[in-house]
Chains A and B, each alone.
Chain A
Amino acid sequence: MEAFLVTMIVAATPLLLAATGELVAERSGVLNLGVEGMMLLGAVAAFAVALSTGSLAAGFVAGAAAGAGAAALFALVALGFTANQAATGLALAIFGTGVSGLIGQGYVGNAIDPLGPLVAADSLPDHWLARVALGRDAMVYVAIGIAVAVWIYLTRTRSGLKLRAIGDDAESAHAVGLRVLPSRCAAVLFGGACAGLAGAYLSLAYTPLWGENMTAGRGWIALALVVFAGWGPIRVIFGAYLFAAASLAQFYGGALGLSIPSQFLSMTPYLATILALVVISAARRGGAAPAMLGLPFRPTR
């Protein structure tokens, strides 16, 4: 059980980071489907920098920068050129997969010392809960901290209120003098930096090595997670842990003597997401989704 919880926490962290970033972008009305590509670029940049400098911190910074850089490309095409956001995001996902494979080719087979626990095990109270909850690496807590900070920002600050207004009705927000495109751009860059951090976590703490396509669909799962959480940052935290537990269930299901094929257990997060989507959409027509999600905006006056 202890091992399961530890694995769950570690598996949830990249999902939480990426989903929190995407949530901010989506609350500003921008649907960036390129999370998978941004994560891969973050992972390879982080690994390359950490390997050459020997500093994991520099690696995480490089990962976030690479993710934000990729997001800037998305912002240029989707916001600057008002292109279809879903198609642009898809282009980013495809592009990121390719570029990360090219850059990372020379790094396959290298290994680094992974990110260790924040607090050494021998200075922790001797209780299983303390070992599980407090003995993790720093990024586990950073991820939760970012999500809580985003919640405070969106619900308790003026700037967060403006961002939500832009996501719900860009025309009106523009009419009362809010700067729609710069705000959306900032939200997208923040989302990219978070996705880059999520990728960096995979290559510096989770595996810790670089492998082609190592995100293995986590970027897409993060997108699902945002929907599942109904665009709420606190619910994203719980959702990330739930998704991580569900994805691990396939490894533990057999041990518990469950006769359900592992593939069906793996399906549950996706089916649950569809169900959540239907329920929240039906409950409030349009749902909890930001009203202008995915719609381009170009100021006409």
Chain B
Amino acid sequence: MLERRVSPSPALAVLSPVIAMALTVLAGFALFAALGKDPVEAMRIYFLSPFTDAYNRSELLVKAIPLALIGSGLAICFRAGVFNIGAPGQYTLGAIFAGGVALHAPEGAAMVWLLPACMAAGFVGGMLWGWIPALLRVTSGANVILVSLMLTYVAQLLLDWLVRGPWADPLAFGFPKTARFPDGALMPNLVAGTRLHWGLVLAVVAALILWWMLARTRRGFGIRSMGLAPRAAAFAGFSEARTITFVMLVSGGLAGLAGAVEVTSTIKQLQPDIAAGYGFAAIIVAFLGRLNPLGSLLAALALAVTYIGGENAQILLKLPKNAAFVFQGMLLFFLLACDTLIHYRVRVRRVAGGA
């Protein structure tokens, strides 16, 4: 029996992600044992190997950058009760816009401005893709979840067409990819000898701005009210339409920025696979980070562990690449279940009168 608590438990709100992570490791242990794989070795590779040396640790941050950018945007979106699951598409559009600027920059243009222009273009591309579901929701009441999901496919197909068609590199011998971006469009490294780049600074700054906006401004108050009590927010004069549009523009823009950052840093060109899967994983980041933009920074690191651990397991244990998803899925399951206990307590005893 679940019984509603008089007030939400603040301790559990903080503890829930920790409990969920511990349960994920335990369940992973059981699952690998059940499948006849060495569970101790598997857990060591998945959860400890990403921390063993400086290179792995820097790669952890590299993976966390797009996750944090998207996750902090989704955090404010979910806070408003708007379920944007189209971040993969917004990420892809951002990558396309940034790639378009990088590939079509005039020769000899002031190179200093090329990278900022790519970032801005990526933000605008993501905003555009986030704005469509918001507009359709506001004007006709169409479901944001479904429209944003459909747009994800459209974005992926658009990218596929561009890299095989108009933007294909004639020197790539038919491989579906564009030419390498010019040097001016590439994200400079933050630490020499690693792949860690300035996107980290962008992610931290974005999370700080969003946190400030959510906690300290009138707009942030409107977002929080709409999520908690939509009718009260409406009576207080916060327009539902404007709030939906705002959070979709911001979260779309940040997903687009993440796409722009990723293609100008680690990928350096456009190709059909630009790791848009970050867009789904970032949903876990947002929940794990307690729908708080700053929490998303920490949560992005936790999710990055599963990515690096998964890559290491693929090499060392010859496990399929998708095995890392086992942990991501379990983490979200456990987290959602634990979060219920913030608002409800478990009652073993049957309530008299049969509920």
Chain A CB within 8 A of B324 CB? yes
Residues of B within 8 A of A31 (CB): 145
Chain B CB within 8 A of A285 CB? yes
Chain B CB within 8 A of A264 CB? yes
Cα–Cα, bound, A214→B2 (Å): 39
Chain A CB within 8 A of B171 CB? no
Contacts A101-B321, A102-B35; is A84 near B328 (CB within 8 Å)? Answer: no
Smallest beta-carbon distance A48→chain B, Å: 12
* Contact residues, A69-95 vs B (CB, 8 A): 73, 76-78, 81-84, 86-88, 90-95
Partner of B322, one of A101, A282, A301: A101
Chain A CB within 8 A of B207 CB? no
Asked if A98 contacts B329 (CB within 8 A), the reply is yes
Contacts A95-B330, A213-B322, A261-B165; is A77 near B150 (CB within 8 Å)? Answer: no
Chain B CB within 8 A of A281 CB? yes
Partner of B329, one of A95, A105, A266: A95
Asked if A102 contacts B323 (CB within 8 A), the reply is yes
Contacts A83-B337, A212-B322; is A281 near B153 (CB within 8 Å)? Answer: no
Closest to A108 in B: B320
Interface residues contributed by chain A, number (CB under 8 Å)? 61
Asked if B323 contacts A101 (CB within 8 A), the reply is yes
Residues of A within 8 A of B149 (CB): 220, 223-224
Chain B CB within 8 A of A130 CB? no
B329-355, CB under 8 A of A: which get 1 and which 0?
A: 110110011011000100000000001
Asked if A98 contacts B322 (CB within 8 A), the reply is yes
User: DSSP class of B's interface residues: helix, strand, loop or mixed?
Assistant: helix
Asked if B161 contacts A264 (CB within 8 A), the reply is yes
Asked if B336 contacts A274 (CB within 8 A), the reply is no
Cα–Cα, bound, A267→B146 (Å): 15
Q: How large is the interface on B (under 10, 10 to 19, 20 to 34, 35 or more residues)?
A: 35 or more
Asked if B327 contacts A98 (CB within 8 A), the reply is yes
Cα–Cα, bound, A101→B318 (Å): 12
Chain B CB within 8 A of A37 CB? yes
Asked if B329 contacts A277 (CB within 8 A), the reply is no
Chain A CB within 8 A of B140 CB? yes
Asked if B336 contacts A84 (CB within 8 A), the reply is yes
Partner of A91, one of B150, B319, B333: B333
Asked if B332 contacts A91 (CB within 8 A), the reply is yes
Binds B, one of A6-14, A114-122, A164-172, A286-294: A286-294
Chain B CB within 8 A of A175 CB? no
Residues of B within 8 A of A100 (CB): 322
> Which interface residue of A81, A271, A286 has the most chain B CB atoms within 10 A?
A81
Give 7 A-B contacts (CB < 8 Å), ordered by A residue: A81-B336, A88-B332, A96-B329, A98-B328, A102-B323, A224-B150, A267-B154
Write the residues of chain B forming the contact surface with A, with a CB cutoff of 8 angstroms. 2, 4, 31, 35, 83, 85, 136, 139-143, 145-147, 149-151, 153-154, 157-158, 160-161, 164-165, 280-281, 283-284, 287, 319-330, 332-333, 336-337, 339-340, 344, 355
Q: Sorted from nearest, which 6 A-B pairs have the closest CB atoms?
A: A95-B329, A98-B325, A98-B326, A101-B322, A91-B332, A83-B336
Write the residues of chain A forming the contact surface with B, with a CB cutoff of 8 angstroms. 31, 33, 37, 73, 76-78, 81-84, 86-88, 90-105, 212-213, 217, 220, 223-224, 227, 261, 263-264, 266-267, 270-271, 273-274, 277-279, 281-282, 285-287, 289, 293-294, 298-301
